[in-house]
């Protein structure tokens, strides 16, 4: 059956239909054996630094930039080896990055280094904070140079167009509301991290940075970054994010279908029977991929916990026990060692498989997104920048109850460990691990349920979960973020191990090229 898509969706499918312009430049090609070794190394390295899949490319670019610029450098010396490392690790297929893109990346590196120099010269600022911003912005810019027509950005802009009229902030401006909706969409759909969010807002504030306006940007850099950071602390941000997040599932499935039919997206969108079949097929493909994604997340999590936390913890626990007891208590160490993987395995076994009814609900949502004007989604959200004040006495009661949840949750575990004759250090390490694993398990469970359209009803199980486990999850989140930022093991990998390791890759790639050249002389 033929149906007419609404105006906003017509613009969406037209954007998917625009075929990417083929380039005829020379491309970057690497040795397949070197690429295989580099890929395995990169999988191991990224597992040690826990990030969402969607931001791994950007964080890898930032990591390489820091390593290559720490002792000085320029766009000319950094751009080509940076891109070659990305192709080695198969972030991009062989022979898909044009050599002309190296020039673009080189120019951007020089431009951002110039911006950093100008900002530090013109203003009395924290140079460390400026450096953090520059690496965030530059790594995001390079990702967009290497992926100029990413459908993720096309769909994000479409979702923003759908929801900007469905959110109202009664006591703030339309501009601030649009910014908050934009941030919520990038977080909820694109899974942007802080660096990418900074980049998108920075581009909106200043537009494209060039040699002609870099001085002006440097003049207003402190003011701009402060205003951007203020948006991330906005009081109503979480309510807007939650409202949009729970409605992103149909857009993920729609994106799968439109990506598959890039170049003829409009014809399939106009054929309701065909697109319905493709939507159900895309749902099933996503469901089948959940188990693999969860398994990868579990493996990465175990590696992350062990190599960034466990080695240090075992060293402290073993040393303490030898000093106090004259021996190592292997029972407590074994429990601390086995708890993380066992909890991860349990999470993996409890992964739910979405039902066909879930697929039909997604199908109905996509139908209204494409054909209804306006789409019949959840009721509009109306919020206040400053929420209504809670009665001080009631607020005090809530604070006491929240503290009580922490005391009961952690107290119950401490009581059990005491009964098992754990010493204070072993108890602290166990709690340390349990908090981090609880946070990671929560994220994995969220990944496993990411395609399930849930109802709004609270049940007894969810209330019990919030009461008992939420303290562990919150503490685990803070520990994971704090310790990751000062991880000595990652510093050793990035600046002591990785530099010579990548140098060996480059040597062998040149050696293989030399051998091939000598072999060709014999033909």
Q: Per residue, what are the HEC states of 184-205?
A: HHHHHCCCCCHHHHHHHHHHHH
**Mean pLDDT, residues 416-436 taken together:** 78
Q: Where are the alpha helices (DSSP H) in 70-125?
A: 75-88, 99-122
Q: Say if CB 81 and CB 68 are below 8 A apart.
A: yes
Q: Which of 457, 282, 254, 259 is nearest to 368 (CA)?
A: 254
Residue 285 to residue 260: CA distance in whole angstroms = 12
Flag whether pLDDT at 458 surpasses 60. Answer: no
Residue 179 to residue 205: CA distance in whole angstroms = 11
pTM here? 0.79
Query: What is the predicted pLDDT for the residue at 436?
Result: 78
* Burial class of residue 57 in the structure, from the number of CB atoms within 10 Å of its CB (0-12 exposed, 13-18 middle, 19+ buried): buried
For 382, the enclosing helix (H) or strand (E) is strand 381-383
Q: Say if CB 329 and CB 321 are below 8 A apart.
A: yes
The distance of Cα 502 from the centroid of its chain, to the nearest Å, equals 25
Q: Which among 52-56, 333-337, 518-522 has the top mean pLDDT?
A: 52-56
CA dihedral 181, 186, 191, 192 (to 10 degrees): -120
**Mean pLDDT, residues 263-282 taken together:** 86
Residue 195 to residue 139: CA distance in whole angstroms = 8
Q: Which two tokens stand for residue 363?
A: 């199908």
pLDDT classification of 405: cutoffs 50, 70, 90: confident
Q: Which two tokens stand for residue 316?
A: 């402290």
pLDDT tens, residue by residue, 36-71: 777 777 777 776 666 677 788 999 999 899 988 987
Q: Which of 39, 42, 45 is nearest to 490 (CA)?
A: 45
Query: What is the predicted pLDDT for the residue at 491?
Result: 61
Q: Which among 135-149, 261-275, 347-361 has the top mean pLDDT?
A: 135-149
* Burial class of residue 10 in the structure, from the number of CB atoms within 10 Å of its CB (0-12 exposed, 13-18 middle, 19+ buried): middle
Residue partners of 229: CB distance under 8 A and separation at least 6:
none
Query: What is the predicted pLDDT for the residue at 1?
Result: 63
Flag whether pLDDT at 292 surpasses 80. Answer: no
Count how many residues are written for the chain. Answer: 523
pLDDT tens, residue by residue, 321-334: 666 666 666 666 66
| pLDDT averaged over every residue in the chain | 81
């Amino acid at each position: 059956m033929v149906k007419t898509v609404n105006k906003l969706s017509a613009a969406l499918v037209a954007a998917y239909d625009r075929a990417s312009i083929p380039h005829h430049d020379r491309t970057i090609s690497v040795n397949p054996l070197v690429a295989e070794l580099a890929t395995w190394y990169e999988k191991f390295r990224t597992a040690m630094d826990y990030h969402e899949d969607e931001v791994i490319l950007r964080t890898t670019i930032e990591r390489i930039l820091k390593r290559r610029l720490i002792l000085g450098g320029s766009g000319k010396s950094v751009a080509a080896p940076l891109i070659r490392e990305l192709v080695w690790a198969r972030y991009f297929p062989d022979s898909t990055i044009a050599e002309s893109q190296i020039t673009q990346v080189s120019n951007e590196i020089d431009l951002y280094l110039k911006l950093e120099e100008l900002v530090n010269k013109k203003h009395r600022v924290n140079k460390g904070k400026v450096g953090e911003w520059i690496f965030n912005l530059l790594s995001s810019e390079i990702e967009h140079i290497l992926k100029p027509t990413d459908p993720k950005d096309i769909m994000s802009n479409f979702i923003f167009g759908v929801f900007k009229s469905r959110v109202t902030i009664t006591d703030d401006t339309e501009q601030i509301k649009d910014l908050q909706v934009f941030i919520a969409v990038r977080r909820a759909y694109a899974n942007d991290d802080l660096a990418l969010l900074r980049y998108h807002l920075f581009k909106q504030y200043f537009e494209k940075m060039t040699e002609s306006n870099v001085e002006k940007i440097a003049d207003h850099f402190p003011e701009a970054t402060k205003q951007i950071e203020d948006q991330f602390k906005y009081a109503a941000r979480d309510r807007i994010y939650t409202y949009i997040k729970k409605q992103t599932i149909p857009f993920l499935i729609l994106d799968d279908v439109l990506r598959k039919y890039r170049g003829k997206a409009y014809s399939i969108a106009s054929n309701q029977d065909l697109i319905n079949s493709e939507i159900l097929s895309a749902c099933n493909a996503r469901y089948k991929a959940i188990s693999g994604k969860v398994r990868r997340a579990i493996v990465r999590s175990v590696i992350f916990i062990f190599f960034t936390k466990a080695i240090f913890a075992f060293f402290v626990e073993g040393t303490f026990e030898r000093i106090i007891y004259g021996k190592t208590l292997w029972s407590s160490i074994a429990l601390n060692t086995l708890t993380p993987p066992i909890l991860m395995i349990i999470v993996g076994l409890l992964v739910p498989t979405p039902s066909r009814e879930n697929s039909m609900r997604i199908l109905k949502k996509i139908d209204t997104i494409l054909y209804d004007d306006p789409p019949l989604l959840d009721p509009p959200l109306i919020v206040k920048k400053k929420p209504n004040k809670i009665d001080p006495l009631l607020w005090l009661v809530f604070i006491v109850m929240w503290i009580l949840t922490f005391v009961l949750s952690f107290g119950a575990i401490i009581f059990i460990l005491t009964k098992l004759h754990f010493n204070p250090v072993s108890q602290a390490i166990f709690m340390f691990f349990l908090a981090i694993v609880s946070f990671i398990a929560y994220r994995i469970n969220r990944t496993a349920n990411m395609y399930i359209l849930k109802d709004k009803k609270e049940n007894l199980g969810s209330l019990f979960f919030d009461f008992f486990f939420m303290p562990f999850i919150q503490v685990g989140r803070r520990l994971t973020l704090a310790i990751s930022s000062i991880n000595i093991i990652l510093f050793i990998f990035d600046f002591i191990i990785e530099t010579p390791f990548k140098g060996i890759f480059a040597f062998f790639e040149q050696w293989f090229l030399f051998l091939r050249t000598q072999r060709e002389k014999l033909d």
